[in-house]
Amino acid sequence: MKKFFAKRLKNEKGLTLIELLAVIVILAIIAAIAVPAIGNIIDNSKDSSKLAAASNILAGAKIAATDGACEESNDGSITCDKDDLKGYVENVKEEKGTTLNYGADKDTDGNWTVTYNGLTNFNSKKYKDESIASPLAESKLNELLSK
């Protein structure tokens, strides 16, 4: 029995310090690659949610205008403010430190623009080079959402 255990202990090998350091270095390299990638994904999703909120406002404004809830001027343009859009727009969140303001306008040519104070501070590389400002034209909003 003694020989059996002595033989087993002799064949047992543990991790050397070099092997342990190699594993730690490999994990550090993987972490160095993964952390910035995850940060970019988070920034992209935050920026995309701002554009989705603007799209939600615009869709609600179109429905509100159809229902006659918005103000129509003599020239045929339509203006929908935050109060007009209550009941038509949901899940639009305000940015930290700001008051939630939004609305939409339709000019006489039928072109819609959305006003939303959440359309600021785009951090992701995806939208960094774009000029995104409120009011934002529907065509530009659709172009940004399709990226």
> Residue 5 falls within a domain, yes or no?
no
Quote the CA–CA distance of 112 and 105 in Å, as a whole number: 6
The reported pTM is 0.73
Q: Does the pLDDT at position 122 exceed 90? A: no
> Residue 25 falls within a domain, yes or no?
no
The tally of domains found in the chain comes to 1
> Residue 117 falls within a domain, yes or no?
yes
Helix H or strand E encompassing 106 = strand 102-106
Quote the CA–CA distance of 117 and 99 in Å, as a whole number: 8
Please say whether the dihedral angle defined by the alpha carbons of residues 18, 24, 30 and 33, taken in this order, is positive or negative: negative
> Residue 134 falls within a domain, yes or no?
yes
> Residue 125 falls within a domain, yes or no?
yes
> Residue 81 falls within a domain, yes or no?
yes
What are the tens digits of pLDDT across the range 53-86? Answer: 999 999 999 999 999 999 998 888 999 988 888 8
Give me the domain span that covers residue 118: 45-145
